[in-house]
Amino acid sequence: MSKVRLTVPPRFIIVLVVLCLCCVPCRAKDHRRYCQPSSCGNIRNISHPFRLIDDPKECGDLRYNLSCENNLTVLHLYSGKYFVLAINYENATIQVADANVHKGNCSSIPPYSLSRYNFSYDDPYSTYTLKGANWFNTYRFELSKPIIFMTCETRLENISSLYVDTSPCINALSGHSFVVTESINASDLLDSCPIELMVLSSWNGTKDVNRSYIDIHNQLLYGFELSWKEGYRRRSNSYCYIDADTNEIHCYSTSVTNLFVSGAIIIAVILWTGTKVVLGVPCVIVLLIFKLKRRHLSMYSVIEEFLQSHNNLMPIRYSYSNIKKMTRGFKDKLGEGGYGSVYKGKLRSGRFVAIKMLGKSKANGQDFMNEVATIGRIHHVNVVQLIGYCAEGSKRALIYEYMPNGSLDKHIFPKEGIISLSCKEAFEISLGVARGIDYLHQGCDIKILHFDIKPHNILLDENFVPKISDFGLARLCPLDDSSLILTAARGTIGYIAPELFYKNIGGVSNKADMYSFGMLLMEIAGRRKNLNAVAAHSSQIYFPSWVYDQFSEGNEIEIEDATGEEKTITKKMLMVALWCIQMKPSDRPNSMNNVVKMLEGEVELIQMPPKPFLYPQDMPVVADESSLEKTSSSSMPFGK
């Protein structure tokens, strides 16, 4: 019987050795998964990704720190302190309860609101879990439901069964306290009952209409569940899916190191299976390249088809070679972000421009088409002008008028701590932004909803005239449409209107931009971010809440070295901002035109707004408060 001899090319052996060496640090890096489990109180198996703060740094994930206090396992989540009741590693959920809720004391309630709104896409925790997934579909299950506390002006008679009276457990200082535990529509919310607190619960107990507040308090004691599986799926440099049968996570890494590992496995298979597989690999590579090329060509054809169908657009189309000449080979870089990079350029006429080179497109080039379709059809003093664009294969660029004073965030949140804008300049910028949004909503032949109003997207020209920019998330709709249906929330956490998360408080409309403007206006007036991690007192952490409390108590806002006129202007800006950030869209001003009139009018004509449903501090707890700069609890200097 003759023997078959398989000859292996030397270069394959060299590559295999190198790849095996590359695997060593990968394995070493993953040793944190095999640390000895920790324990605290009733939680006996604290293991990856969780860790106690005293565990070695290589154990667990630092984003999932737990502490052991008085033999109780504690999770510090945003501003709240929560006791860990259980950790389920099979379905990747953790059950926690607010530390301020006590058994046998039905008047004890959480001090801070916590709702779905607080959990952004980048958070390690989620209020959803994945019930099953494959390459094509992902099924998400909501783990926790809201419990809503509200205070009504008078005792309600014959109210809906949705409202449960909290007396005698909770006695409001003024009015009467009620709680709602079911999903409700905006029409079920009473104007005389503003929302005071919203918390989470996962209790599956009685839902009988005759339930008492004691039953609801038991829900608070039971706590709520969060998932960390969503966090891993989003954060890893991998494509991950969950096996619906075993509930295990399987990931295909896209990192360079893991590509080497995958390459080593492929080569091992090649060496084992012989010549047939070796010959088949090039075919697979060619097929993958062909598919990728086809996908990119499909995206380019979508963009090209869009440009052909909108041949009446005002901007000029430039070639990529023109773009390189304008930027002198991309020498003067102004900035960069997730969208790509921005370069300073110069037209033949001598006019300076800002050229945004777009990176990888999302949704088949939708961001590029959104900007061209929106800014390309309008011209307003407070909206950045789109001069031209480039769409040449994978090269996509947008050419804007140049804004020498950059974006607004650099002036109200300066790194050096020196505020360059005067109070009057800040007011004029605010008024200009409001006018620009009003024009987008009702000044064109079609309504344009921006969905991403924030300081970074407000640009300032040489005279500090504000210009609204970045229309990548914008949506067009007819002027007579009162609401818009969206499949997912869009915008930046901290500026997104609550109706984009809570569908039952009202439809999505132009008032979503109004809410974002209110949060922006609050930051312009205060010269600080609305969430401040270094505030010495909890009442100062969330700026809108502190401002409302000052106004409702009849206190004047303290501003360093401010004249009487500047204090009046600032108060007016803050009052208007509070009206714009009301939770329910129906409680906000009717339109941005009304907001403009409020800013242009006298502060005495602005009524005190209701207390908006203010979201809690979206930040981790600061461990060492002694190192923080202390400020007075009765005053908060602006611009610090």
Each residue's pLDDT tens digit, 166-221: 888 887 656 778 787 766 555 566 666 777 788 888 876 555 556 788 888 988 99
What spatial distance separates the first Cα and last Cα of the chain, rounded to whole Å?
88
Tokens (6 digits) for 484: 């818009």
Burial class (CB in 10 A: 0-12, 13-18, 19+), 483: middle
* CATH H superfamily, domain 409-627: Transferase(Phosphotransferase) domain 1 (1.10.510.10)
**Which residues lie closer than 8 Å to 276 by C-beta, 6 or more apart?**
none
* C-alpha distances in Å from residue 394, one per residue of 186, 210, 296, 358, 399: 45, 63, 8, 9, 16
Q: Out of 55, 98, 367, 452, which one is annotated catalytic?
A: 452
pLDDT digits (tens, 9 = 90+) for 60-106: 888 899 999 999 999 988 768 999 999 999 888 999 999 999 998 99
**Residue 188 neighbours by CB under 8 Å, 6+ apart:** 160, 162
Question: What pLDDT digit, counting tens, does each position of 198-212 carry?
Answer: 888 887 655 555 678
Pairing of strands 163-165, 395-401: unpaired
State yes or no: pLDDT of 455 exceeds 60: yes
By residue count, the chain amounts to: 640
Cβ–Cβ contacts within 10 Å for residue 406, how many?
Answer: 13
Mean pLDDT of 409-413: 89
How confident is the model over 50-56, as a mean pLDDT? 91
Is the pLDDT at 331 greater than 60? The verdict is: yes
452 is catalytic: yes
The class of domain 310-401 in CATH terms is alpha beta
What mean pLDDT comes out for the span 214-230? 86
Confidence of residue 163 (pLDDT cuts 50, 70, 90): confident
Contact 303, 396 (CB under 8 A): yes
Residue 115 · residue 198 · CB < 8 Å: yes
CA angle 344, 452, 539 (to 5 degrees): 115
What are the domain boundaries of the chain? 78-252, 310-401, 409-627
Q: What is the pLDDT of residue 598?
A: 96
Of the ranges 109-113, 330-334, 388-392, 420-424, the best mean pLDDT one: 330-334
Dist CA 508 CA 64 (whole Å): 34
CA distance 522 to 547: 9
This prediction has a pTM of 0.55
In eight-state DSSP terms, residue 332 is S
Judged by DSSP in three states, 177 sits in strand
d(CA 537, CA 539): 5
- Residues 77, 114: Cα–Cα separation, whole Å: 9
Contact 195, 216 (CB under 8 A): no
The yes-or-no answer to whether 310-401 and 409-627 have a common fold is: no
Q: Please say if the pLDDT value at position 3 is more than 60.
A: no
Helices (H), 223-255: 229-235
Tens digits of per-residue pLDDT, 360-377? 655 446 677 777 777 776
Q: What values do phi and psi take at 370, rounded to 5? A: -60, -50
CA-to-CA distance for 199 and 224, rounded, in angstroms?
9
Are 331 and 339 in contact by the 8 Å Cβ rule? The answer is no
Lowest mean pLDDT among 126-140, 149-163, 316-330, 438-452: 126-140
Helix (H) or strand (E) run with residue 315 in it: none
DSSP state of 66: E
What pLDDT, on the 0 to 100 scale, is given for residue 2?
A: 45
Distance in angstroms (rounded) separating the CA atoms of residues 92 and 243: 13
Question: Where does residue 352 fall: left (phi above 0), alpha (psi -120 to 50 degrees), or beta otherwise?
Answer: beta
Question: How large is the average pLDDT for residues 293-309?
Answer: 49
pLDDT at 13 over 80: no
Averaged pLDDT for residues 403-422: 83
Q: What is the mean pLDDT of the chain?
A: 75
Q: In whole angstroms, how large is the CA radius of gyration of the chain?
A: 28
Least confident residue range of 60-64, 213-217, 274-278, 599-603? 274-278
Q: What is the pLDDT of residue 151?
A: 81
- pLDDT at residue 345, rounded to an integer: 94
Residues 137-164: b if buried by 16+ CB within 10 A, e if exposed? eeeeeebbbbbbbbbbeeeeeeeeebbb
Query: Buried b / exposed e across 290-325, counting CB within 10 Å, b at 16+?
Result: eeeeeeeeebbebbeebbeeeeebebeebebebbee
d(C-alpha 267, C-alpha 248), whole Å:
27
Per-residue DSSP letters for 35-65? Answer: SPPEEETTEEEE-TT-EETTS-TTSS-GGGE
